[in-house]
Structure 1
Amino acid sequence: MSEQPAPATAVPPQGAYVPAVVHGGLVWTAGMTPRRDGRLTVRGVVGADVDLAAAREAAALAAGNTLLAVAEALGSLDAVARCVRMTVFIAAVDGFTEHAAVADAASAVLRERLGERGIVARSAIGVRTLPSGAPVEVELTAAVR
């Protein structure tokens, strides 16, 4: 029995996982970094290598990638009843305190694309490092219609 290659996805996994799982009326995404065509667009630590504006752009791209994963898993964003929870991880220098400003850019993407359905409960968490040296990583949980 030969192993079949995984199907191509809009947000190709960087390891042994799937971009999103649908179960029990919810869809959960894997952590999404600011990748375009599978390539990380920015690397570094916010407050050292990455300024606030670039971190916000990275968070917006990562949030957009969560929506791509959700749309792929559900067939369309129309199947989203509402987003319920988002976590934004920010690799930042000690003393960085503008986590909410970075995460606001991710929240804005959800609101732009989903309107009221995109308003979420959210956490913005500072961490030392993220996969592949990404400055941000975003996870999303949404209720399915």
Structure 2
Amino acid sequence: MLEQNGNKTVASSLSTRLKELKIELPSPPTPLGAYVESSDTGNLLFLSGTLPIVNQKLAVSGRLGKNLSVRDGQQAARIASLNALAIAKQHLVNLDRLKKLVKLTVLVVTTEQFTDHAAVADGASDLFVQIFGSKAGHVRLVYGVQSLPIGAPVVVDVIFEIEPTSQSLTKR
């Protein structure tokens, strides 16, 4: 991540940035089925969809447009995104290998009349912009669904660009 410091551009590590923002990552959640939470290939890290789980329990449940507000949905998306970062850290060991968020997909459980999907997804996007900076940018897809696992109101699905390890560089 690059930051402007006067006329100089300086590199800032992701772990340093999280400390500056006073963001502590939770313990990574465990899979709910027969799959792995993360898989990398080349310079990309793919994560399974993450839920708004805190201490192995669903932190927010319900349906947007019925018993949850946009703000509730944003909070759920932020928690799910923090879980995604925790899974990335577990996979990579060194979180500073994350270069940027490439793609963000947010699924939102809604009523048929609900139309503020993008505002809910901003709960995730805003967190990633805080961490990676606005210039890093990411593409995004957000859509409404009828239901999600364990009654979650949102699922966050991410693809990160990562620094290859020195071991993977020597294989080329």
Shared fold by TM > 0.5? yes
Q: Kindly provide the amino acid, as one letter, of the partner of residue 157 in structure 2.
A: E
Which residue does 1:123 correspond to in 2?
A: 141
Preserved contact between residue 31 and residue 139 of structure 1 (Cα < 8 Å) = yes
Q: How does 1:37-116 map to 2 (within 5 A)?
A: 37-116=55-134
Query: What stretches of structure 1 move > 3 A for 4+ residues in a row?
Result: none
- What is the CA distance between 1:118 and its match in structure 2? 5.5
- What is the CA distance between 1:117 and its match in structure 2? 7.2
Deviations, residues 33-87 of structure 1 (Å, cap 9, x unaligned): 1001211011111111211111110011011111111111111221012110010
Answer with 1 or 2: which has the greater Rg.
Answer: 2
Q: Kindly provide the amino acid, as one letter, of the partner of residue 57 in structure 1.
A: Q
Unaligned runs of 5+ in 2: 1-26, 164-172
Unaligned runs of 5+ in 1: 1-8
Q: Over aligned residue pairs, what C-alpha RMSD do you find?
A: 1.4
* Higher mean displacement: 113-122 or 40-49: 113-122
Higher relative contact order (CA 8 A, sep 6+): 1
Q: Kindly provide the amino acid, as one letter, of the partner of residue 120 in structure 1.
A: H
DSSP 3-state at the match of 1:88: strand
Which residue of 134, 137, 145 maps to 2:152?
Answer: 134
DSSP 3-state at the match of 1:107: helix
Preserved contact between residue 59 and residue 136 of structure 1 (Cα < 8 Å) = yes
| TM-score (structure 1 length as normaliser) | 0.88
